[in-house]
Amino acid sequence: MTVPPPIVAPSILAADFARLAEEVRAVENAADWLHVDVMDNHFVPNLTIGLPVVQSLRAATELPFDVHLMIEDPRRWAPGYADAGAYNVTFHAEACDDPVALAKDLRSAGAKAGLAIDRDTPIEPYLELLPSFDTLLIMTIKAGFGGQRFVPHLLDKVRTARRHVDSGHLDLRIEVDGGIAADTIEQAAEAGADAFVAGTAVYGADDPAEAVRRLRNLAERALAGA
């Protein structure tokens, strides 16, 4: 099987919100996607940015937007992000009673559809829904805040998903989010992830673009050996 090149998606949650456009441009030539964390203070306790910021930022960069909605009632809000030009819109399984219907709505609005699985949610009940999705985001922390410590045993879900995706020949990215850094990305890649969100590891570095390239190299090497 040919291994697709890994995706590295810096999370602007760790960027300086007063200089967002500049912070995005700092990774423009290094990143594959830009990960945008939308939190509503209900699904998670934290509050971040919403549609108006995403709309403004869309005009400031060529990078594809990987929007991660940590919100309640995604059926009401998610299609707006697709309309705003997001490349991929991911919503949480825990927040949606009909994930397949919303995936269809997102695809008809021109975006890819992503399903996110939080720390305490098992993956098994969702495996059969995966043909309706383009990305599966497996949290490697509890969703809500950046800068948390990576939880290694959550990679068991990545392994289960990878086996399912490969045996079913599904065309799906398996993305990990939370605590991804130079000392954790290889184990995530070996477990079967092929898209990697990194906030602190990118924007906490002196040179964010260089940090992205370093992460990609580590992931590439681990995927080639996996």
Q: Is 132 annotated as a binding residue?
A: no
Which residue among the candidates 40, 66, 105, 177 is catalytic per the annotation? 177
To Zn ion, the closest distance from the beta carbon of 81 in angstroms equals 14
> Does residue 37 have an active-site annotation?
yes
Residue 170 or 186: the one with the smaller Cβ distance to ligand DX5 is: 186
In 3D, which of 9, 21, 7, 27 has the Cα closest to residue 49? 21
Is 177 a binding residue for Zn ion by CB under 5 A? The answer is yes
> Is 214 a residue that touches ligand DX5 (CB under 6 A)?
no
Burial of 29 (0-12, 13-18, 19+ CB in 10 A): exposed
Q: Does 35 contact ligand DX5 by CB under 6 A? A: yes
Distance in angstroms (rounded) separating the CA atoms of residues 32 and 53:
20
Query: What Å distances lie between residue 10 and 65, 159, 167, 199, CA to CA?
Result: 10, 23, 30, 6
3-state class percentages of the chain: helix first, strand second, coil last, to nearest 5: 45, 20, 40
Residue nearest to ligand DX5 (CB): 199
Question: Is 146 labeled as ligand-binding?
Answer: yes
- Position among 7, 8, 14, 218 found at the interface with ligand DX5 (CB under 6 A): 14
173, two tokens: 């990215």
Choose the stretch contacting ligand DX5; rule: CB under 6 A; options: 16-24, 87-95, 172-180, 185-193: 172-180
Could you say whether residue 121 binds ligand DX5 (CB under 6 A)?
no
Chain centroid, CA 53 distance in Å: 18
What's the sign of the alpha-carbon dihedral 179, 68, 192, 196?
Answer: negative
CB of residue 36 vs ligand DX5: minimum separation in angstroms?
A: 9
Active site members = 37, 177
Residues of the shown chain interacting with ligand DX5 in the complex, contacts defined by CB under 6 A? 11, 13-14, 35, 37, 68, 141, 143-148, 177-180, 197-201
